[in-house]
Structure 1
Amino acid sequence: MNFQTNFPAGYPVFHPRGGPFTGAASSSSGESRSGPHGPGAGAGAPEFDIFDWFPAYQSCQRYFLDHAQHDNGVQAVAALVNICLPFQWTTSPLVNSTGPGPHASGPGAYNLPWPRTGPVQNTRGQPPPVSVSLVPYIRRLIITGMDREPIMHGFFGEDWKKGVGPVHECERRNYLFAAKSGGWAQVKYQYDMSPHESVPFLKPLQDVQLAEIEGAEKTWSQWLAMEDWMVGPRAPDVEESGANRGGS
């Protein structure tokens, strides 16, 4: 089975067990960004194992549902950045990781073209473990400058760096890309989730390290090459290496 996953520009490349990982902290100099935003992934960085990462991500999901969303501090942050916690959803609220609460509906219902939770039942007709995407919360914390280590710890638990750290790094890079692609209004529009959960304010990316900027610059250049169809055998690095071989 092929576990290679195709992500948009800026997302990590997941490989089978023992394979490499190219993440958001990689840079042309091979440096990696350390600190509260998860492990770096430049040259010489530890390999990323999807089989090790996924249980850690699920652990963060359970912590978020069973503990964090019921904490007063997390609720205060969520209110400030205007995002509903799962137990506050007016349609099928989730009070914990065991399943949905009583059905409810109202004007504050979350309205997206995809569901927040997983399928109703699996192939055996049994309800699967509840799965809530943590990406909307990570994105909202990043764009409001709230993705500091204490807050990330409060939302996603003690092992948040291992569980949501890679996603966090990728979404930080995507925020840089969004800022470069359009103006303030367009960026805010892209990050608004619904009329009832619009972004109240935007802040520039916080605690940025040089390696993070260099990694984003390199990936942005790769995207510009993609726009000009400079991919595959026409990729700039391929052409440069071929020219070097021809001149040697």
Structure 2
Amino acid sequence: MAFNTQSGTPHTFGTPSHGHYSTSSSSRAAPPSQESQQFDIVDWYPKFQSCHRYFLDHAQHSGPVQALSAFINIQLPYQKQPNPVLSAASSSPRSAGPEASHLRQPNPFAQGQSAAHAQAVSLIPYIRRLVATGHDTPAVLHGFFGDDWVSGIGELHEIERRNYLFAAKSTSWMKVKQSYDMSADETVPFLRPLRDASEKEIQAAEAGWSEWLAMQDWMLGPRAPETMGRSSRVKREQE
């Protein structure tokens, strides 16, 4: 199940012909690896904001996104009660315009209402749910987060895929499921193995897992093993 990305706004489901992070559009080209280019968080942030606005203003109101969200049992911001977020602007404190600021009265419920501000909406739960249910295809990610998804949430997507591998390696299926459940009404209905994992991705996860094992054994700084950062594993000492 995936989104058709022939237009700017998703409207039908289809099967993408491209692989992970690969599309025909230059605006959605595969991001350079961290080995070849240093990640610049300042350059990244405007792209992330673009994805955030697209998700709130367009994606959450489209039929395919609503259908898939219902299937994987996660509420969209406009469904969150009692403080729904309908768009990136409608819930902003500035939405009434600067000329109306003098008309605002102190609101004893301001703290509760602040949760409805668009800035409070995190994209991470949606990325996690797509990864865990095997729906994190390029077409679906484009449908949720727009044309800037590769540069805007691509790094976060890679991190969450790695986290999913770590979760599966570290504990049982039941505990993994519990960690991906949200509220009682938004439990994850199913878990699927990581979609289209590549050998390069698995090797990177192995290296990251080895670093974590080294952390558990305090093999840090001058004690760090010589193989740290390579694909070989760190062998833990038997207790």
Asked if residue 39 in structure 1 is aligned to residue 24 in structure 2, the reply is no
For 1:191 and 1:168, locate their aligned partners in 2 and report how far apart those are by CA, in whole Å. Answer: 15
Percent of aligned pairs with the same amino acid: 52
Distance, in Å, in 2 between the alignment partners of 1:223 and 1:119 is: 40
The one of 149, 155, 173 aligned to 2:162: 173
Deviation at 1:41, TM superposition (A): 2.5
Tell me the equivalent position of 1:85: 76
| CA distance 1:238–1:221, shift in 2 (3 Å) | closer
Q: CA deviation at 1:128?
A: 7.7
CA contact (8 A) 2:91 2:117 kept: no
Structure 1 residue 229 corresponds to structure 2 residue 218:
yes
**Counterpart of 1:35 in structure 2: which amino acid?**
H
* Partner of residue 215, structure 1: 204
Count of residue pairs the alignment pairs up:
185
Write the mapping of 1:1-248 to structure 2, written as runs, cut at 5 A.
35-36=20-21, 39-43=31-35, 45-100=36-91, 120=114, 130-237=119-226
Distance in 2 (CA, whole Å) between partners of 1:78 and 1:220 is 31
After TM superposition, the score normalised by the length of structure 2 is 0.72
Structure-2 separation of matches of 1:214 and 1:185: 26
Q: Report the 3-state secondary structure (helix = DSSP H, G, I; strand = E; otherwise coil) of the residue aligned with 2:86.
A: strand
Question: Separation in 2 of the partners of 1:192 and 1:156?
Answer: 22
Equivalent AA in structure 2 for residue 74 of structure 1:
V
- Partner deviation per Cα, 1:76-112 (whole Å, 9 max, x = no partner): 01000000000000121000011439xxxxxxxxxxx
Structure 2: segments with no counterpart, 5+ residues: 1-18, 23-29, 93-110, 229-239
Q: Stretches of 4+ moved more than 4 A in 1?
A: none
> Structure 1 residues 228, 36: closer, same or farther in 2, change over 3 A?
same
Provide the rounded CA distance (Å) in 1 between the counterparts of 2:83 and 2:112. 12
| TM-score, scaled relative to structure 1 | 0.69
